[in-house]
Amino acid sequence: MKIATFNINGIKARIEALPEWLAAAEPDVVLLQEIKSVDESFPRAVFEDAGWVLETHGQKGFNGVAILSRLPLEDVVRGLPGDDEDLQARWIEATVVGKRAVRVCGLYLPNGNPAPGPKYDYKLAWMARMQARAEALLALEEPLVLAGDYNVIPQAEDAARPELWTEDALFLPETRAAFRRLVNLGLTDAFRARQPAPGQYSFWDYQAGAWEKNNGIRIDHLLLSPQAADLLLDARIDKEVRAGDKPSDHVPVWIELDA
């Protein structure tokens, strides 16, 4: 089972590029972030006519997450539990029914800037809620994948120029500590488990020639439960997607599971 995460930075802006990548990469499941569309205006037919099962949790103009799957989806949950007043569309989860059932959670973690401030407080509170949800799902002792745009640079080697990020919410010590608490529940960073070398990134700013200079950061992650980590075959970043027409500022990251 090939599972990918991809922050597409607007489904309508990427309506030609995304189907091209899907046809070339042939993933079984794709967790999308920043669809920037309400559910009713998502271009469903483009994907459903091509055989995809589609579940969305959208929001007008920003945020929004979705799941595309070649396999059946069951028990879909929209919204991260823990705060009934939080209306931002940043979390969707479902069980993918393949050779083995795998629970997938697609997430778009808050950016948190400027920090300190209310946006950063929201980011840390959201991460605490995510940790609580992860603990509940891990208790089921089933294959679990938490995938998406985490807006977290875990370590200095995950940035081409870490000195530029020391005051940014993505790299502040409190952010990285919250990420470590999540991983320390028993999760595996799938990409690092298979690709430990530095210099590999999933995001490049549109400005200042960041792509051409490879001045990137790795903020798109797939974290695996022990049961999913046991099934891990490979993990990669599709960096060449960034070079296409109308690219997102992110590129897909994917894993292959024996499931």
Give the span between the Cα atoms of 98 and 57, in whole angstroms.
23
Would you call 234 a catalytic residue per the annotation? no
Give the span between the Cα atoms of 15 and 257, in whole angstroms.
28
CB 103 within 8 A of CB 2: no
Strands 53-57 and 65-69, sheet pairing: antiparallel
128's CB contacts (< 8 A; 6+ apart) are 82, 178
* Token couple for 55: 């579940």
Which residue among the candidates 120, 168, 201, 250 is catalytic per the annotation? 250
Binding site, annotated residues for Mg(2+): 7, 34, 149, 151, 249-250
Calculate ∠ Cα 112-7-11, nearest 5°.
115
Calculate ∠ Cα 156-188-105, nearest 5°.
105
For residue 149, report the phi and psi dihedrals to the nearest 5 degrees.
-85, 105
Give the span between the Cα atoms of 150 and 176, in whole angstroms.
11
Which residue among the candidates 28, 149, 189, 220 is catalytic per the annotation? 149
Q: Is 155 exposed, middle or buried (0-12, 13-18, 19+ CB in 10 A)?
A: middle
Which residue among the candidates 108, 120, 150, 201 is catalytic per the annotation? 108
Binding site, annotated residues: 7, 34, 149, 151, 249-250
Packing angle of the helix pair 118-138, 173-183 (nearest 10 deg): 10
Would you call 206 a catalytic residue per the annotation? no
Would you call 149 a catalytic residue per the annotation? yes
CB 112 within 8 A of CB 123: yes
**DSSP tag of 243:** G
Q: Which residues are catalytic?
A: 108, 149, 250
